[in-house]
Amino acid sequence: MHKTSYNHNPMKTILLFVASILVAMNTVAQKTGSVEIQFDNVVGNQDLVLKDKTYTNANGDEFAVSLFQYYVSNFRLTRKDGSEYVVPQDESYFLIREQRPETQRIVLKNIPKGTYVGVSFVIGVDSLRSASDVSRRQGCLDVGGEGKDMYWAWNSGYIFVKMEGRSPQVPMTGNRKDLVFMYHIGLFGGMGDKKTLNNIKAANLSFGADKVRVKTDDITRIGIKTDASKLLNGSTNVSIAANPSVMGGPYSKHIADNYATMFSYDGLKKELPAGKGAGVVGMNE
Amino acid sequence: MSNLFYFPLGEETIISMKSILSFVVAAVLAVTIFSCSKTEVDSIDPNGTGGLTLEFDNYVGGTNMALGTAQYKNTAGESFTVTTFNYFVSNIELTKEDGTVVKVPNSYYLVREADPKSLNVSLTGIPQANYAKVAFTVGVDSLKSQAPVTERTGGLDTGSYGTDNMYWSWNSGYIFMKLEGISPASTLSSKAFQYHIGGYGGGFQGAAKTANNLRKITLPLGTTSAKVRTTTTPTVHLIVDAARALGGTNTISFAATPTVHSPALAKPIVDNYVNMFVVDHVHND
Amino acid sequence: MVCALLAGISSCTGEAEVSLDTPTFTVPKNFPAPAYALDRNRITSAGVELGRTLFFDPKLSRDNSISCAECHSQPNAFTHHGHDVSHGIDNRVGTRNSLPIQNLAWSTSFFWDGGVLDLDLVPVAPIENPLEMDETLYNVLEKLRKDSTYPKKFKAAFGTEEVTTARFLQALSQYMLTLVSANSRYDKYVRNEGGTLSADELAGKQLFVQKGCANCHAGELFTDNKFRNNGLSLAFGTDLGRGRITEAPQDNYTFKVPSLRNVGVSYPYMHDGRFRTLEAVLDHYAEGVTETPNLDPLLKQNGRLGIPMTAGEKASIIAFLKTLTDEEFLKNPQFIQK
């Protein structure tokens, strides 16, 4: 037996060390700060309260939400001149869960100092990463870890947005034993000649009149509101009675078209009080 | 104020936490127990019993049986579909490797392709041993055929399986095997064929004797014995080829014989179907 | 090709010091280049050993009762012997017949419907299917982390004791990639390694091409890796196959063209295992092809459904197909957990 670890190649270690110094120097030279985004999940103009609060969708159906979570990824910050800062992809995947406040606060690090006028991001996981090597599926993309409940194994791909809850409109037909509705929306388009539906959407938010300044070694905080009711309302007003359970399938396109508009810029924010979670960096690790 | 529908999840969560805990405790115990006995000893408890399952897997030739529109061909070259395939299996006997015969008391089972549950006959209270042979009667023996109705339970309860009648009220006997379907070769205007095979010998209360079509089937299990243990419930997977009821010893043509409804005319089919049961393999798990 | 591949691997050994002491995977002379990206998951003997241990470990199921090997048994080319649709945990019955695990390095999609496009992600599906192992990958990893032997095996294979999703899946891939079947009598015949085919088998080989079988069961892998509707009647159920994945109506009732290697021992046949014998399969192509939506045009030429074949022709083709049985593969002791 003459097996040693992957990480004990001294040449590699030195190279990595040199590389990290270079990166660090570059960073210092560029003068960077951080942007923290605080996601606030709402339903229309009301706060999202899991289980105990009843809402009404545009179709007039009453519903309560028991679970709401979604991926956001591939963040870009736009400058006034139209140029963009693209967050390095490996640090740009987040899974926001209503049940876990610490995930509702994400930090984008090493953002070049300057004034930004907008942010854009992918709702879900881009097709390249959806089809990537398992070793590149870390953190919230780890299907045997953080991402375990956001992955379809039989039609391999991530669930981008997942909302579940109860509604008296759910028909008690078939094997259904309770009034539960489920919207699991994914499908990244497949690979090569093996195409599936593509439900990847992008959000493009302007900061409006706000001047979002990123200062050296400082944290700039902004808010984004996520309106869960937008899954059900929009170009297609979803009837919970007619579509109580959408997990992939052709109808998922309508819900994805709806939720493409669920994000809105919510102004500059202050530091959150202690206890509201530490915030997450990179891939929600 | 009051929710129309509620989330009982709070209570359930507590319960499931408890059950998870007890599961963990049980699992830890199990691991401890098993890790103590390093080699699992295959032990037969001489006074112990166990279970054994006979799985009846119906086919037509090399093709799985699907009731309805699936097309098959008989040895006369006539195409047909199957709408009904039922048979009684009774008086099951298991022969140990040493030749001892164990008779399963009161074993009467009706196997109906239309009822997936009936395809697995689960025997319990079987003495622990290695079994090398299984035998059974196709049909219902004369004693049981004359038994009081109170003793006619399970598959013998003619009212327990809807309209799929397996009893000749006019001749006070069970139909042992029923094969029905549609064939363009049938000379009936409905294009149906119906083979109802019965006849236990008659002679009940001085009534006339009839043909005796009861047959005992004996099947060696081959290289793998069925090992009945406390923790092992073997499954004997039988392939039952309905095509063999129509061919082999006697070629049955739908054109020549579209129906058989009497014990006297049944012999050609009986001589065929004694060969329709084959042991495919045995699972010991 | 072999040289290029070996060169590719050996050039990597400088940076990765996990040993490559045994040549566990080689490309057979008559095979094309593998589809699997071997450079991103280098096959090592420790990795294969870990993968094999996992493949035979019932811990991968919810109640630790069944392993992958349960439905993929070696003597039947790693399929579920004798079962039309595979049985999973608690004797729950699945909806499809398990496919052989062989020559997966050359497969461009997995499962009958091609719902998974990367071998590494294949094991997640049976682990998490309620009808199969009914477990979660997350729990499996937790079980392995708590196990007294696995962290050491992970260290041997990947350098540290850390049990991660990627390592777990890559180890299983490494083992499955080594399941190469290329030593059938047919292979030894085409490679001039002393294998002989009888006159009947040679006639069958010729008919296999003439009758058009080779149009879909193409090349040395005996599959074109495409999805096709081969005219199975819907009397056995209305599984949409590939259409369930793509949601494109033109893909309804199409299924992956399976390889025919070891077809003589991997019965039953078709996605739902409706045929128990090769005779029943050939009868289907000769007389049983049904005009269902998206029937492959190759099975309806000049207005005639199916492929006309005489009884003798069918028998010859079956004789040829049986030369694809690879006894060395079916009995290789290295593939089994010791």
The whole-number pLDDT of residue C220 equals 97
Distance CA A88, CA A108 (A): 10
Pair B271, B251: CB distance under 8 Å: no
Q: List CB contacts of A97: < 8 A, sequence separation 6 or more.
A: A68, A69, A103, A104
**Amino acid in position A51:** K
Asked whether the beta carbons of residue B7 and residue A66 sit closer than 8 angstroms, the reply is yes
Q: How many percent of chain A have pLDDT more than 70? A: 86
| Mutate: best of A149, A152, A154, A195, partner C, most C CBs <10 A | A154
User: From CA C103, how far away is CA C115, in angstroms rounded?
Assistant: 18
Residue B33, chain A, CB below 8 Å: the answer is no
Contacts of C among chains (3+ CB pairs under 8 A): A, B
B62: chain C residues, CB-CB within 8 Å: 275-277, 279-281, 283
What is the distance in angstroms between the Cα of B64 and the nearest Cα belonging to chain C?
5
Six token digits for residue A213: 């300044």
B44 bridge partner residues: none
Q: What is the pLDDT of residue A9?
A: 54
Strands B49-60 and B235-241: parallel
| Cβ contact, residue pair C247, A6, below 8 Å | no
3-class secondary structure, A160:
strand
Q: State whether residue A142 sits within 8 Å of chain C by CB.
A: yes
Which CATH number describes the domain made up of C2-180? 1.10.760.10
Q: Quick check: B3 contacting A, CB < 8 Å?
A: yes
Instruction: Tell me the two tokens of residue C149.
Output: 């032997």
pLDDT of residue B211: 87
d(CA C86, nearest CA chain A) in Å: 16
3-state secondary structure chain B: CCCCCCCCHHHHHHHHHHHHHHHHHHHHHHHHHHHHCCCCCCCCCCCCEEEEEEEEEEEECCEECCCCCCCEECCCCCEEEEEEEEEEEEEEEEEECCCCEEECCCCEEEEECCCHHHHEEEEEEEECEEEEEEEEEECCCHHHHCCCHHHCCHHHCCCCCCCCCCEECCCCEEEEEEEEEECCCCCCCCCEEEEEEECEEECHHHCCEEEECCEEEEEECCCCCEEECCCCCCEEEEEEECHHHHCCCCCCCCCCCCEECCHHHCHHHHHHHCCCEEEEEEECC
B154 contact partners, CB below 8 Å, separation of at least 6: B108, B109, B110, B160
* C48-52, C65-69, C148-152: the lowest-pLDDT one: C65-69
Q: Which helix (DSSP H) or strand (DSSP E) does residue A190 occupy?
A: strand A188-191
pLDDT at B258: 96
Q: How far is CA B86 from the centre of its chain?
A: 9
Helix (H, G, I), strand (E, B) or coil at A270: coil
For residue B270, give the nearest of B186, B196, B204 by alpha carbon: B196
* Whether the Cβ atoms of residue C36 and residue C121 lie closer than 8 Å to each other: no
Of A190-204, B171-185, C11-25, C131-145, least confident by mean pLDDT is C11-25
Per DSSP, A91 falls in state G
Q: Whats the size of chain B, residue-wise?
A: 285
Cβ contact C40–A137 (<8 Å): no
pLDDT tens by residue, C291-327: 999 999 999 999 999 999 999 999 999 999 999 999 9
Q: Do A7 and C160 touch (CB under 8 A)?
A: yes
Rg (CA), chain C: 21
Q: Is the distance from CB of B216 to CB of B139 less than 8 angstroms?
A: no
Percentage of residues of chain C with pLDDT beyond 90:
77
pLDDT in tens, A214-227: 999 899 999 999 99
A-chain CB neighbours of B9 within 8 Å are: 51, 66
The mean of the pLDDT values for chain A is 87
Q: Give CA–CA dist A214/B46, Å, rounded.
A: 81
Chain A residues with CB inside 8 Å of C170's CB? 134-135
Distance from C-alpha of A75 to C-alpha of A122, rounded to nearest angstrom: 7
Weakest-pLDDT range from C13-27, C95-109, C146-160, C207-221: C13-27
Mean pLDDT of A82-97: 95
Cβ–Cβ below 8 Å for C276 and B237? no
Distance CA C25, CA C176 (A): 10
Q: How far is B202 from chain A (nearest CA, A)?
A: 47
Is A54 close to B9, i.e. CB distance below 8 A? Answer: no
Residue that the structure tokens 């493009």 belong to = A204
pLDDT band at A279 (very low <50, low <70, confident <90, very high): low
Q: Which residues of C touch A (CB under 8 A)?
A: 15-19, 37, 40-41, 46, 109, 111, 114-118, 120-121, 124-125, 127-129, 136-138, 140-141, 155-156, 158-160, 164-166, 168-170, 244-248
Q: What's the rounded mean pLDDT across residues C125-143?
A: 92
Domain boundaries, chain C: 2-180, 185-327
C88-108 per-position pLDDT tens digit: 666 666 778 889 999 999 999
Q: Which CATH class is domain C185-327?
A: mainly alpha
| Residue in A closest to C116 by C-alpha | A156
Range in B40-49, C133-142, C168-177, C292-301 with the lowest mean pLDDT? B40-49
CA–CA distance, C2 with B280 (Å, rounded to integer)? 42
Q: What phi and psi, each to the nearest 5 degrees, are found at residue A88? A: -55, 135
Q: Mean pLDDT throughout C19-36?
A: 80
Three-state SS annotation for chain C: CHHHHHHHHHHHHCCCCCCCCCCCCCCCCCCCCCCCCHHHCCCCHHHHHHHHHHHCCHHHCCCCCCCHHHHCEHHHCCECCCCCCCECHHHCECCCCCCCCCCHHHCCCECCCCCECCHHHCCHHHHHCCCCCCCCHHHHHHHHHHCCCHHHHHHHHHCCCCCCHHHHHHHHHHHHHCCCCCCCHHHHHHCCCCCCCCHHHHHHHHHHHHCCHHHHCCCCCCCCCCEEECCCCHHHCCCCEHHHHHCCHHHCCEEECCCCCCCCCCCCECCCCCECCHHHHHHHHHHHCCCCCCECHHHEECCEECCCCCHHHHHHHHHHHHCCCCHHHHHCHHHCCC
Sequence-distant (≥ 6) Cβ neighbours of residue A186 within 8 angstroms: A124, A152, A157, A158, A159, A160, A199, A248, A252
d(CA C153, CA B131): 40
The CA distance from C36 to C178, in Å, is 12
Interface test with C, best of A136, A194, A199, A246 (most C CBs within 10 A): A194
Neighbouring chains of A at 3+ CB pairs under 8 Å are: B, C
User: Is the predicted pLDDT of residue C9 greater than 90, yes or no?
Assistant: no
Give the residue from A176, A138, A137, A161 showing the smallest Cα distance to A247: A161
Q: Using the beta-carbon criterion (under 8 Å), do A166 and B9 form an inter-chain contact?
A: no
Beta carbons of C174 and C41 less than 8 angstroms apart: yes
> Is C248 within 8 Å of A249 (Cβ atoms)?
no
Asked whether the predicted pLDDT for residue C238 surpasses 90, the reply is no
DSSP A272: P
Phi, psi of C127 (to 5 degrees): -60, -40
Average pLDDT, chain C: 89
**Residue C68, pLDDT score:** 92
The confidence band for C13, taking pLDDT boundaries of 50, 70 and 90, is: very low
pLDDT reported for residue C18: 42
* Cβ-count burial A217-238 (b if 16+ within 10 Å, e if not): eebbbbbbbbbbbbbbbbebeb
* Contact in structure between A227 and A43 (CB atoms under 8 Å): yes
Q: Residue A137 and residue C18: Cβ atoms within 8 Å?
A: no
Contact check, Cβ <8 Å, A196/C246:
yes
Q: Answer yes or no: same fold for C2-180 and C185-327.
A: yes
Run means of pLDDT, 10 residues per run, chain B, 285 residues: 42 43 47 43 86 96 93 94 96 96 94 94 96 96 79 77 76 87 96 94 72 94 93 95 96 96 92 96 89
Distance from CA of C220 to the nearest CA of A (A): 22
Whether the pLDDT of residue C160 is over 90: the answer is yes
Is residue A285 predicted with pLDDT exceeding 70?
no
Which whole-number Å values give the CA distances from A241 to A51, A175, A229, B231, C231, in the listed order?
Answer: 19, 15, 16, 47, 37
- C-alpha distance from residue C72 to each of A200, A206, C48, C49, C99 (Å): 36, 55, 17, 17, 8
Cβ neighbour number for residue B184 with a 10 Å cutoff = 10
pLDDT in tens, A140-195: 999 999 999 999 998 889 999 999 999 999 998 877 778 999 999 999 988 777 78
Which residue carries 């489920």 as its tokens?
Answer: A182
> CA angle at residue C35 from C209 to C258, to 5 degrees?
40
Q: Which residues of chain B neighbour A166 with C-beta distances below 8 Å?
A: 5, 7
pLDDT digits (tens, 9 = 90+) for A19-70: 555 555 554 567 999 999 999 999 999 999 999 999 999 999 999 999 999 9
For chain B, the structural domain boundaries read 7-37, 50-283
State the residue for tokens 């409706």.
Answer: C274
Name the packing angle between helices C165-177 and C137-146 (round to 10°).
Answer: 90
CA distance linking residue C314 with residue C311, whole number of Å: 5
The encoded tokens of residue C173 equal 């891939």
- What is the structure's pLDDT at B181? 97
Separation CA B59–CA B242 (nearest Å): 6
Q: Is the peptide bond before C268 cis (omega within 30 degrees of 0)?
A: yes
Residues 6 or more apart from A147 whose CB is under 8 A from it? A95, A137, A140, A141, A158
Residue A168 at interface with chain B, using a CB cutoff of 8 Å: yes
Q: Residue C280 in contact with residue C286, Cβ under 8 Å? A: no
Residues from chain C contacting residue B34 (CB–CB below 8 Å): none
Between CA B6 and CA B12 the distance in angstroms is 13
